[in-house]
Structure 1
Amino acid sequence: MADHHLKAPVERPTRLEAPSSTEARKSEPATTEGDQSSAPPPRLKRQRVRTALFALLPVVLLVSGYFYVTGGQIISTDNAYIQADHVGVSTDVSGLVASIEVKDNQPVVKGQVLFTLRPEPFEIALAGARAQLSNVRNQILNLQANYKQAQAEIDQAQIDLAYYQASFQRQQTLVSVSAVSRTNYDDAKHALDSTRQKINVAKATAQMVLAQLGGNIETPVEQQSTYLVAQAAVDEAQRNLNNSVVRASFDGVVTNVDSLQVGAYLQPPQSGISLVSADQLWVAASPKETELTHVKPGQPVDISVDSYPGVQWHGTVDSLSPASGSSFSLLPAQNTTGNWVKVVQRIPVRIRIDDAADKPSLRTGMSVQAEINTGSARGVPHLFSGLFASQAHAHE
């Protein structure tokens, strides 16, 4: 009975096969002939781009040459800094600091007292010089009196000389006829000789006094050499006393005040404090030597300071240094050695600031961007000279 039962058919899963490449190509939509003709091949695109670049190359060269030839009149350098008059305030006399009248970073005006030294030593020296001047004046007056006295003695001796000459002649006549004794003759001769000697001594005394008076008795006391020497000592003592009070030599700002203390001994040329000018400002620029072909004094300059973005100052080229900056260095470069290498030098240029009063405050040492308008473009000769120089350099 089991044999008569039929087994049910077993269903097997169907396997999906991927379409062949031929069928896939058949299923894709075919491109039309019109679409193939509209898309250019890649080689044609490259040829068009290359042609466009070659066409633009002369235009680019012409534009670049134009800007090069017409440019170059603005010389720009950032190797520039603000400079100002500054001095270490000191005095040429020695002494102890008595007082300090200013504070650090305080604005001062010309003639304002900065600090003082103890005045007592200078006052004593001045009093001594004045006393010596008075003593010299009295000595000159005494010499003038001595000269007048010597002249009076000469005049008196001249009168006596005439008398003794006459008396001697009489005694000489009388003694020849033995009318008087030889003693009377000798006395008359001695009196005559003494009078002559007195005249010589008086004249020598007068000459000595006159020499001490400068050779002219009529010269005023205040013009005598000894008086002038004594007066100079008084002036020196007065100057030392005045210099014990140290004042500002110009308007500015004092700094480094804390380095000076009351009671410190200050001697020249030791600096007490520093004074920086608030008005005498300029720009010290150092452009390259190759950029100074057309730079001259009087040319306008645009100045910008890193501390104040967007603010511009106007200035003028004041002067150009006669030597490069390296020429003033402590150890200048020696170009005679075998390993010489050419280095472009920098020439200091001083630029005057014309409108510093109307802008923010500038301080010494600030970095500056300076643009000098030379008014002279490079020009066509400069372009060709540069090309020739580059070709010669390439041949080398």
Structure 2
Amino acid sequence: MGNKKKIALILLVIGLMVFVYFAYNYLVFIKEYATSDAVFIRSDKITNVSFKRVGGKIIKMYKKEGDIVKKGEVIAEIDPIDYKIKYDQVAKKIESLNKKREQLNIQIIKVKDELDLKKNIGEKKITYLDDEIKSLKYSIAELNQNIKQLKRDYKRFKSLYEAKAVSKRKFEDIETNLLALQKKKKSLLSKLEGLKKQKSVAEDELKMVYVEYKNVDELKKSLESLDSEIAATKKQLQDLENLIEYCKLKAPFDGKIGKKFVEEGAIINSGFPVYSVVDTDSLYVEVLLEETKLKGVKPGCEAEFSVDSYPDITFKGEVKEIYPASAATYALVPRDISAGEFTKVAQRIPVRVSIDEGDKSILKVGMGGEIKIKRAN
């Protein structure tokens, strides 16, 4: 055998040994690790932020793509002038309504006080007249008794006078007293009639006072209506205050600006996206792992990965969750396999992996990479 053949044989043996070595190590590796190049950086909190309920010209953009933001930080503003003008108009309306309310309240108090005074005077006057009428009726009743007695005396003395049993003077004295009492009774009856008329007038006046109280009730209803209008206008003012505040776009959480959709000076409507904000603290790895590689992959399994942008930097984490459906399940246009004609393709199952070690500041949502997951025994 020539030297060349020996050398070729030796090289072949060495090549076979190297192939066997690498093949064995590869088999050991794939048995111990599940690998995938369908790796993507994701975030639990990524959102497009827009102006709520307000629109207009953007007068200030405070952030650019990649800038760090803090929750509640103002990142953009639109011109609030229209809302401020409306605010001032509504504020003046409230001021005017409050003045009107104050005047109406003063009017109610004044009218009520006057009516209370009239009512008090009227009731006292009726009570006084009732007492006077009662007293007068008592006097007339007493006078009637006296007149009745004098009439009996008058008849008796008249008989005696005609029989010349009493003097003319005594008889005339009885007659004079009787006429005087009758005259007094007439006067008292006239006074009684006058008091009754006064009482009737006082009662009518008191009824009018009670009628006028209804005007106070109407004024109170007007006041209640005015209070309702003031309350509604205050809500309108509060809403405008909110709208003015909404002219300042604030970051919803700590993170970074992922994308800027508009430029300063643009005119936008409410709800139009201005920035996309990414929460860099909630980054994780989404792995689309072939179903044939799922064996031994469980929550808690250690993982190492790198991203294509920084292939020399290694990140570590662990499997947190294996999703219950394949990625194809949620495709917008799912495969039609009802006819039974299809090409069998290994489905990919989404696996969530945490990022526990490594410089997360260099990671961006959407980056791709490669991963190896240590299988559980």
Contact 2:319–2:353 (8 Å) recurs in 1:
yes
Give the drift of 1:266.
1.0
- 2:356 corresponds to: 354
Mapped to 1, the partners of 2:302 and 2:108 lie a distance apart of 74
Q: 1:80: which partner in 2?
A: 39
Tell me if structure 1 keeps the 8 A contact 2:74–2:248.
Answer: yes
Which has more helix, going by share of residues?
2
Which protein has greater RCO, CA pairs closer than 8 Å, 6+ apart? 2
Aligned to 2:124: 163
Moved more, 191-200 or 323-332: 323-332
Matching residue of 1:192: 203
1:107 lines up with 2:110 in the alignment: no
Deviation at 1:94, TM superposition (A): 1.1
> Which residue pairs with 1:306 in the alignment?
308
CA deviation vs aligned residue, 1:135-185 (integer Å, no higher than 9, x gap): 344455455545544653564354134224325636876699743476763
Partner SS for 1:365:
coil
Compared CA separation, residues 344 and 71, structure 1 to 2 (3 A):
closer
1:120 corresponds to which residue? 81
Cα distance in 2 between the residues matched to 1:361 and 1:281? 11
1:252 aligns with 2:263: no
Render the CA deviation track for 1:326-367: whole Å, top value 9, x for unaligned. Answer: 4544455677x45486876544333321234x3671122211
In 1, Cα distance between equivalents of 2:279 and 2:73: 14
CA 1:185/1:241 → structure 2, altered by over 3 Å: closer, same or farther?
A: same
Contact persistence 2:133–2:192 (CA under 8 A):
no
Q: Which residue of 2 aligns with 1:91?
A: 51
Kept in 2: contact 1:260–1:273 (CA 8 A):
no
2:55–2:268 contact (8 Å) kept in structure 1:
yes
Structure 1 unaligned residues grouped into runs of 5+: 1-63, 215-223, 378-396
The letter for the 1-side match of 2:288 is S
TM-score by length of 2: 0.61
Q: C-alpha deviations, 1:93-116, integer Å up to 9, x for none? A: 11122244444x352332555443
How many angstroms apart in 1 are the aligned matches of 2:222 and 2:326? 60
User: Which is worse superposed, 135-144 or 76-85?
Assistant: 135-144
1:257-286 CA distances to partner (integer Å, 9 max, x unpaired)? 5x4252x32111112343444443221223
Q: Do the aligned partners of 1:297 and 1:318 also contact (CA within 8 Å) in 2?
A: yes
Paired AA for residue 38 in structure 2: N
Task: Name 1:221's counterpart in structure 2.
Answer: none
In 1, Cα distance between the equivalents of 2:100 and 2:324? 58
Alpha-carbon contact 1:297-1:319 (below 8 Å) kept: yes
Confirm or deny: 8 A CA contact 1:298 1:318 kept in the other structure.
yes
**CA distance in structure 2 between the partners assigned to 1:83 and 1:130 by the alignment:** 48
Tell me how far 1:81 sits from its aligned partner.
0.6
Aligned equivalents of 2:333, 2:210: Cα separation in 1: 76
Aligned residues: 297
SS in 2 for 1:179: helix
Amino acid corresponding to residue 210 of structure 2 in structure 1? I
Cα 1:165–1:319, aligned 2, differ >3 Å: closer, same or farther? Answer: farther
Report the alpha carbon displacement of residue 91 of structure 1 after superposing the two structures with TM.
1.0
State the secondary structure of the residue aligned to 2:38. strand
Give the TM-score normalised by the residue count of structure 1: 0.58
8 Å Cα contact 2:75/2:250 also seen in 1: yes
- 1:24-53 per-residue CA deviation (whole Å, 9 max, x = no partner) reads xxxxxxxxxxxxxxxxxxxxxxxxxxxxxx
Q: What is the aligned partner in structure 2 of residue 32 from structure 1?
A: none
8 Å contact from structure 1 (residues 136, 230) kept in 2: no
Change in Cα spacing, 1:71 to 1:81, as seen in structure 2 (3 Å) is closer
The correspondence of residues 1-396 of structure 1 with structure 2, limited to 5 A, is 74-84=33-43, 85-92=45-52, 93-103=54-64, 105-110=65-70, 113-142=74-103, 144-145=105-106, 148-149=109-110, 152-153=113-114, 155-167=116-128, 169=130, 178-180=189-191, 185-199=196-210, 201-202=212-213, 205-206=216-217, 209=220, 228-249=231-252, 250-253=254-257, 255-256=259-260, 259-262=262-265, 264-288=266-290, 297-321=299-323, 323-331=325-333, 337=338, 339=340, 346-356=348-358, 358=359, 361-373=362-374, 375=376, 377=377
Q: 1:135 to 1:295 in 2, by over 3 A?
A: farther
Aligned residues: CA RMSD: 4.3
Distance in 1 of aligned mates of 2:76 and 2:279: 18
